[in-house]
Chains A and B, each alone.
Chain A
Amino acid sequence: MIKDPIYGAFGDAVSTRRKALGLTQSQLAGKVGISRASIANIESGRQNILLHHVYALATALEFAKVADLLPALPQRQPGGELKMTLSNQTLSKQRLSQSAEAQVADLIASALAPRRSGKSGA
C-alpha cells in the first residue's frame, strides 16, 4: 500500500475529536459499527478508509457536516503569499508546522471563496 500522508492527517483528526468528546475507541467503534481494531488502524493512518465509514465517523463524532472532519492536504504548498504569526511567538520561539500552515491557508481560501448564489445545480 502506498502511504499517503492524508491517512495520517485524517487519523489524527479522528483521534483528536474522539478525545475531545471523551469517547473511547471501543465506544466510537460501536457507534460506527466497525471493530475497535479498525478505529485504532484508522487513527494511526494504517488503514485506507471506506467512504461510507467517513460519513459514519462524522456522524458519530457529532460534526454538523462531514467536511469538518477532512483536513487540508498536508503536502499542498503552504501559505503562498500569506504571512502568518503564531500567538506568543516572540516568547516561545515556536513556528507553525508546514501542515498547520496548509490547514490555515485552506481555511482562509474557503472564507474568501466567492459565495454561491444558493441555487443548487445552477
Chain B
Amino acid sequence: MSAADVQRAREAAQAILREFGVTAPPVPIERIVKSRKINLQYAPLEEDLSGMAYIKDGVGIIGINALHHPNRQRFSAAHELAHHVLHDEQIRQAVHVDKGIRVLFRDEIASLGTEPMEIEANAFASELLIPGELLAIAVEGGGIDLEDETGIENLARRFRVSPAAMRFRLSRME
C-alpha cells in the first residue's frame, strides 16, 4: 500500500475550482459532479454509510446517504468525486462504499486507521468545498481561534459544510 499523496489530491481539487471559476462560497458541488457526467443518486442508507463510488461499463455513479444532514451530504459528494478523479482504477473493479467519514474528524489518532485513498479523498473534498483562497478571504487573513465554536459555526454555514469539516480544514490551514 503506497503512502497517501495529499498534495496531488489538493491540486486536483484546485484545478476543478479554476475550471469552474468559483469565486465565492458555497462551492456548487452538485453542479461540478454532474458536469463530469457522473450519475448522482440519493438513497436512504444505513446510518454509518456516507456514500459510494463505482464505474460500471464506463458509467460513473456516486451514491449519497439521503438521511444525513444536507451539509454532510455535500462533503460525502466531494469525497466520492475524489474517488472518481483520483482512484478510477479501483472503483472500476468493485463498488467502493464509504463508512463513517465523520469519524476521521474527531482526532488525529483516528487517521491511523485510515487507508491512503481515504486520506486523499478527504484532502480533496476539504480543499474543494473550502478552498484555501476563499477561506483566507472569509477569515480576513487573520486566522480563527479553533476554540471559537460560534465563529467556526458561522464559517461552516457560509461554506455549507459541517462545523466538523470546517474544523478539519482550519487545523490544516497553511
Q: A residues bordering B, Cβ < 8 Å?
A: 12-13, 16-17, 20-21, 62-64, 68-72, 82-88, 90-92, 94, 96-97, 99-100, 103-104, 106-108, 110-112
Residues of A within 8 A of B95 (CB): 82-85, 104, 108
30 A-B pairs with C-beta separation under 8 A? A13-B44, A13-B67, A16-B47, A16-B68, A17-B66, A62-B70, A68-B42, A68-B66, A84-B97, A85-B95, A85-B97, A86-B99, A87-B101, A87-B115, A88-B99, A88-B113, A88-B118, A90-B115, A92-B113, A97-B46, A99-B46, A103-B43, A104-B49, A106-B43, A107-B41, A107-B61, A108-B56, A108-B61, A111-B63, A112-B39
Q: Pick the residue among B44, B59, B97, B114 that contacts A68 (CB under 8 A).
A: B44
Residues of B within 8 A of A64 (CB): 42
Query: B1–A90 contact, CB under 8 A?
Result: yes
Given contacts A13-B67, A82-B95, A99-B46, contact A108 B54 (CB under 8 A): yes
The A-contacting residues of B in range 81-138, CB under 8 angstroms, are 93-99, 101, 113-115, 117-118
Which residue from chain B places its CB closest to the CB of A20 in the assembled complex? Answer: B69
Q: How far is the CA of A104 from the CA of B126 in the complex (A)?
A: 25
Residues of B within 8 A of A86 (CB): 97-99
Total count of chain B residues near the partner, CB < 8 A: 35
Q: How far is the CA of A114 from the CA of B96 in the complex (A)?
A: 23
Query: B67–A16 contact, CB under 8 A?
Result: yes
- Any A CB within 8 A of the CB of B144: no
Residues of B within 8 A of A90 (CB): 1, 115
